[in-house]
Chain A
Amino acid sequence: MIKLLWVDDNLDQDLAEKRMSLLMEDDIESDFAGDATEAYFLLTDIEKDYDVVLMDLRHPAGPDDIWNEYAEQADRKYGPVLLKMVKENREGIFSHLSKTRYGVFTIETKEENPDLFQPPISLPDQNYKMKTHAYDETDFINFIRALNKS
């Protein structure tokens, strides 16, 4: 069983079919978040020890004020902010996510996001997938399974 959290603000639109196909997979238990606030609440819930967290890079902050301090630097790019937050607090509030694998699913290229592959995030190269490269539902689900094994 793969426990997955997928953070993306397009889950209601062009990714709705992928979301539905994930729900039809018996060995994947999925939670979804449409903004950074929702993702933060799910990630800090110690009962939700996700195996895989899949993140879009750009999504809204959501209603929580904690994102105000990142608003200018983030430019809606709360994905890296969240990843950095989790990785930097592995001993603290995110300690239950020590075995979690992280992936990025975005329309941006790797070259646009060099900081993802450096500490503290240190995302493995193969865990970065452009949406254009896994648009087919089967490819996408295979990517989730590969993330779980990474």
Chain B
Amino acid sequence: MTKIFLFDWLQLGLSEEWADTAIGIAITYAVFIMGVPALIFQTFIPEALRNVYNRRLMRGSHRVFTTQILLVMILLWMVNPKVCGLNGCDTPSEISAYWIFLLTLIILTIGHVHLIWKFNSSQYIGRQLSKTIAKSALDHFKKEKEIKKEDLEDLGLLAVELPHGSIKNTFLDTLGQLIEDILDVKDSKTEEINKAIGDIVEKTVDPSVTSSFEKSNAENMKKALEVLSFAFNQGQRRIGNGDDKSYFKTIISNSIKEIGVCAVVRKDLPSVMNAIEKLSQIEGASRDVYTLGDSALQQGYMKASVVASRKLGDRVRKVIAGREPDWVDDKLVCAWLGLVARIYQKEGHAKQYAETQIEVVLEQPHVNKDEIALTLKNAQNYFYRRLADFSTADAIFELQQKRYPGLG
């Protein structure tokens, strides 16, 4: 009877069938578990991410396989008749029976836990990969004070390949956290932070939205803008107001502008307004605000141009009212005037709006005609000589001819 029941609980004797079955179950399950990654690869992991997944998340699997093979080898050794006492003894060893049962149980449990972990990890692949890479990037920055090229490339790949929507938003959250953590690294120098944040923004945050903006949704744009704005504000606090921050500031404002331009093409007014709002908080980003307003105008998206001109106008009004030195040559004033001149060309209510803006912002009571003439000339030169934007230089000239025929 004991030979029929494989597990003879009453006497716990060790039979040949039991040993056969134990080793059979253990090996079959271990081999099955080895096949799971292939199944997951084929079924759940997008092709573009397989290489990153293999490098970043498969190390655990290798350890599991090694452990299982080792346990199977021990099991094989233990079921050897001479070792376990099946041959040559009247009563096979009870302790061997315990060990064989325990080892089989361990192999099955490891395999089962690994199986559950694998299926769970395949469900949140983007989140797990981004967190793993971000952690690696932060650890490397703490030691070497730079972002490892491999981490940056992998994050860049995720930025492009992860599907838009909540998965991309989670990825952007992770990037925001990485930026915050890098800014918190105490013993890092300004230029090291500058470079690290600039790289993250340029190679990951920006492409996550702009690389395939047709498919991107408003929530992703909003999140990317939120991360960029936060990076700028936190960075400004950490780095201060010195010249050192110019690279960092330029990269962030450029990324905000690019997202804004994508939003213009998609005719997504809230995202355009958000981009302009964020840009207008960055000193020296007037050209980017102009570019956004101008591209909106070219797309026939007047509302966005109005928002851009208003945000620029608010700052220009302050500059002129405060009679800041060389205000007539200020790039901010030039950018505003360029945009208003482009709106002025549109005729109708657009022209009326542009005229009101000029009255409120430029033609302040203390501003004389010579200053207006010089401002117009400088703005034309700025667009002609600095930006080779001849059509805007022409628009300013046209505005001058129509509104101030006696000037210049």
- What residues of chain A have their CB less than 8 Å away from a CB belonging to chain B? 11-13, 16, 19-20, 23-24, 26, 29, 31-32, 34-35, 37-38, 41-42, 62-65
Cβ of B150 within 8 Å of any chain A Cβ, yes or no, is: no
Cβ of B229 within 8 Å of any chain A Cβ, yes or no, is: yes
By a CB distance below 8 angstroms, the chain A residues around B314 are 29
- Inter-chain contact B230/A37, CB cutoff 8 Å: yes
- Inter-chain contact A23/B226, CB cutoff 8 Å: no
- A16-B269, A62-B226 in contact; A24/B281 too (CB < 8 A)? no
Residue of B nearest to A28 (CB): B314
- A23-B306, A26-B360, A63-B226 in contact; A34/B274 too (CB < 8 A)? yes
A-B contact pairs, 28 of them (CB 8 A): A12-B222, A12-B274, A16-B273, A19-B273, A20-B303, A23-B306, A23-B307, A23-B311, A26-B360, A29-B314, A31-B277, A31-B281, A32-B273, A34-B226, A34-B274, A35-B226, A37-B230, A38-B226, A42-B281, A62-B230, A63-B173, A63-B177, A63-B180, A63-B226, A63-B230, A64-B180, A64-B234, A65-B180
- Inter-chain contact A23/B310, CB cutoff 8 Å: yes
- Inter-chain contact A63/B227, CB cutoff 8 Å: yes
The one of A13, A24, A26, A38 that contacts B270, using a Cβ cutoff of 8 Å = A13
New A-B contacts (14) at CB < 8 Å, excluding given A11-B270, A19-B273, A63-B177:
A12-B222, A12-B270, A12-B271, A12-B273, A13-B270, A16-B270, A16-B273, A24-B306, A26-B360, A37-B230, A41-B233, A63-B180, A64-B180, A64-B234
Size of the chain B interface, CB-CB below 8 angstroms: 27
Residue of A nearest to B231 (CB): A63
Q: Name the interface residues of B187-226: CB closer than 8 Å to any CB of A.
A: 218, 222, 226
Cβ of B401 within 8 Å of any chain A Cβ, yes or no, is: no
- Inter-chain contact A26/B356, CB cutoff 8 Å: yes
A26 to B180, CA, bound (A): 38
By a CB distance below 8 angstroms, the chain B residues around A65 are 180
A109 to B373, CA, bound (A): 55
By a CB distance below 8 angstroms, the chain A residues around B229 are 38, 41
Cβ of B176 within 8 Å of any chain A Cβ, yes or no, is: yes
A130 to B360, CA, bound (A): 33
Min C-beta distance of B363 to chain A, whole Å:
13
Min C-beta distance of B208 to chain A, whole Å:
15
Residue of A nearest to B274 (CB): A12
Min C-beta distance of A79 to chain B, whole Å:
18
* 0 or 1 for each of B295-326: is its CB under 8 Å from A? (1 = yes): 00000000100110011001000000000000
Residue of B nearest to A41 (CB): B233
Min C-beta distance of A109 to chain B, whole Å:
28
Residue of A nearest to B230 (CB): A63
By a CB distance below 8 angstroms, the chain A residues around B271 are 12
Residue of B nearest to A38 (CB): B229
Residue of B nearest to A9 (CB): B222
A145 to B281, CA, bound (A): 24
* 0 or 1 for each of B231-242: is its CB under 8 Å from A? (1 = yes): 001100000000
- Inter-chain contact A63/B176, CB cutoff 8 Å: yes
By a CB distance below 8 angstroms, the chain A residues around B273 are 11-12, 16, 19, 32
CB-CB nearest 4 A-B residue pairs: A12-B270, A41-B233, A63-B176, A29-B314
A13 to B219, CA, bound (A): 12
Min C-beta distance of A27 to chain B, whole Å:
9
Residue of A nearest to B271 (CB): A12
By a CB distance below 8 angstroms, the chain B residues around A23 are 306-307, 310-311
By a CB distance below 8 angstroms, the chain B residues around A31 are 277, 281
By a CB distance below 8 angstroms, the chain A residues around B274 are 12, 34
The one of B222, B230, B311 that contacts A64, using a Cβ cutoff of 8 Å = B230
